[in-house]
Amino acid sequence: MPSERQAFGKQGESEAEQFLRQQGYKILECNYRNRLGEIDIIAKDEDTIAFVEVKAKKNADYLHPKYTVTRQKQKKISMVALYYLKSKHQSGARARFDVVTVVSGAPLPKIELIKNAFELAYP
């Protein structure tokens, strides 16, 4: 049984996925995992593959969730993305890293899309 934190994270990812679809993204994979790590959502935005990190918080009073994608997390996402592109024979494809933040609120959560949130961060 998932913890409350895990359930909250899954709910945030679901809201982010629905939001991206509304923005015209075509979802390719959710919770893509390989031996290097995980990417929350991989989607197509026109001719670009977007590797999307979802950050959900109950409130942004202390720190907005967009600031929680650390350099270390960027490196891990970058490595997983490179592996994904190579395994799908898409090494030459246009790609970028997006972040979707979901901040809970009544009656609806506040969702923000940050396109091109960071550059390829390779060790």
Q: What type of residue sits at position 1? A: M
In a domain, 56, yes or no: yes
Contact 79, 38 (CB under 8 A): no
Structure tokens at 69: 């994608």
3-class DSSP assignment, residue 32: strand
Contact 24, 45 (CB under 8 A): yes
Neighbours of 109 (CB within 10 A): 18
Structural domain of residue 110, as residue ranges?
4-118
CA distances from 35 to 53, 79, 91, 94 (A): 18, 10, 18, 23
In a domain, 49, yes or no: yes
In a domain, 123, yes or no: no
Structure tokens at 22: 């509304």
Question: What is the end-to-end Cα distance of the chain in Å, rounded?
Answer: 36
The predicted-structure confidence for 76-114, as pLDDT tens digits, reads as follows 999 999 999 999 999 999 999 999 999 887 678 899 999
The pLDDT score that the predictor gives to residue 61 is: 63
43-52, 91-100, 114-123: segment of lowest average pLDDT: 114-123
**In whole angstroms, what is the distance from residue 31 CA to residue 56 CA?**
15
In a domain, 109, yes or no: yes
In a domain, 30, yes or no: yes
**In whole angstroms, what is the distance from residue 122 CA to residue 47 CA?**
23
In a domain, 90, yes or no: yes
Element (H, E) at 43: strand 37-45
Q: What CATH number did the domain enclosing 70 receive?
A: 3.40.1350.10
More confident residue, 105 or 36: 36
The pLDDT score that the predictor gives to residue 65 is: 77
Number of domains in the chain: 1
In a domain, 88, yes or no: yes
In a domain, 68, yes or no: yes
